[in-house]
Amino acid sequence: MKILCRKKVALDSRKDAIVIPIYKNIPSIRAITGKKIDDELRTILDSNYFNFEEKEIRSFYVELNKKLKKIYLVNTPKEVEYPEVYRELGAKIAGILNDDKIYSISLIAFEDIYNEKKSNASTSAFMEGIMFSLYSFDRYKTKKAHHTLEEVEIITNMTRLKSYIDANHAEWNDIFKYVNIAKDLVNTPPNDLTPAGFADYVVASAHPSLKVTVLDEHEIAERGMNLITAVGKGSGNPPRFVHIVYNGATDTTNNVAIVGKGVTFDSGGTNLKPSGSLERMKDDMSGAAAVFAVVNLIASQNLPVNINAYLPMVENTIGGKATRPGDIVKSFSGKTVEILNTDAEGRLILADALYMATQTDPEIIIDIATLTGACLVALGDQCAGLFSNRKFLSKNISDISSEVGEDLWELPLYENYAAKLKSKNADLQNMASGAKNAGAIIAALFLKEFVENYPWIHLDIAGTAFLEEKHPVFGNQASGFGVRLIYQFIKRYYVK
């Protein structure tokens, strides 16, 4: 989407429509709208047409240059603590603009309306809401949606705000380019996104500055990543292991490791899932999609940081060669694992990938995975689970979470539960025996066994990755959760 920022009055707009933020008892804003628009606005606000209800959006026409210009009024509280309000408003008006077939708008900056001279958060969050709402997935529809908002001209009288938008609007577009790529990957049906197909896509579409290595099922076995082999061997679509390297800081060996769960379809394996749980299991590679998007986004911005990204890709299905409950497998780390339940497969492939991540001596390891139904039960579909073996990391990523509107809630790595993972027959078992309580914590404790005490963050996005009910910002189906969160976290704390 084309984004411009100009110092002008709205009266001179050449776009299809004008969007004006307002609030109750707003004083004259003719300095930025022009007299004619402000006079019409006063008439509207003195009538009963606009009620100042929460997130109310209404429109009217003004004759400008002998043509009718549509004006949209957006009600928002003047004092807002969280930027999520603006994202929701942006997403809401984008839907209205789509219905009205508006291709270009002039947007008066919220900061000008509020005379807010120190912050840029309101208008940028509103733009994020618009950009989230423009996404659609119609690849498999014979009739495509043709309309989309193509241009936003932001109008401001503030030099500081104009400088900020001029410096950042290209990054906004890049962020949502890769958020939408992650969404497309998750929304793609599993017959078209097998492990091999996913790996081929990564190779074909990776940023030119990325080095991509793909291991096939034979090389995975030769390397000793036997847990990945165990999960994938029941399927006719064999596993892949993708390693992506970005060297943006060549003067240092410091690096960040990111691991994403890539189960392209999860039937549960021998422990077959029931009907009702199978239909959306194409989303079980959301973590890998997010990691692929993040490393490409970092490369597109040429950030001075080194990244190692690991994407274990499998299809977990039932078959004659499928792993059985009770099988014992030696992991890449050397620890043996008794597999009590083949539907606890994500932690198995992550275990091999996490241990691989330790081999480059990273500053931090971050993994993101649709890991446990228990996390969905605990936190619902609008908040992801956060685990870390360092308190300062939990705080740092939680701060970013609040800023980008991708909510996290920290759950404890409660060590008393670690004993539940001790096997009578192997070093570990992949789930607790008996009671299935604290499932998200047990899964995180299993992963912790393979990070060698490196600083580590685990994000369980089982609830937030794919939305059955429409979210006011993220919409429904694939949400792209984690892309903006991890990108901004690395950019703030690990870019040199």
Beta-sheet pairing, 428-429 with 336-339: parallel
pLDDT at residue 77 tops 90: no
- Region 173-184: mean pLDDT is 98
User: What's the rounded Cα separation, in Å, for the pair 393 and 457?
Assistant: 7
The string of pLDDT tens digits covering residues 21-46 is 999 999 999 999 999 999 999 999 98
pLDDT at residue 78 tops 80: no
Instruction: Name 364's bridge partners.
Output: 256
Which of 30, 42, 177, 273 is flagged as catalytic? 273
The string of pLDDT tens digits covering residues 242-251 is 999 999 999 9
pLDDT at residue 79 tops 70: no
Which of 69, 282, 347, 484 is flagged as catalytic? 347
Considering the entire predicted model, what is its pTM?
0.96
In the prediction, which pLDDT does 81 show? 63
The string of pLDDT tens digits covering residues 122-170 is 999 999 999 999 999 999 998 877 678 999 999 999 999 999 999 999 9
Mark whether 118 is an active-site residue: no
Query: What are the boundaries of each domain within the chain?
Result: 2-159, 183-493
* CATH fit for domain 183-493, picks 3.50.50.60, 3.30.70.100, 3.40.1010.20, 3.40.630.10: 3.40.630.10
The string of pLDDT tens digits covering residues 366-390 is 999 999 999 999 999 999 999 999 9
In the prediction, which pLDDT does 48 show? 87
The string of pLDDT tens digits covering residues 255-305 is 999 999 999 999 999 999 988 889 889 999 999 999 999 999 999 999 999
Instruction: Identify the CATH class of 2-159.
Output: alpha beta
Mark whether 273 is an active-site residue: yes
Residues with Cβ within 8 Å of residue 445, at least 6 apart in sequence: 413, 414, 415, 417, 418, 421
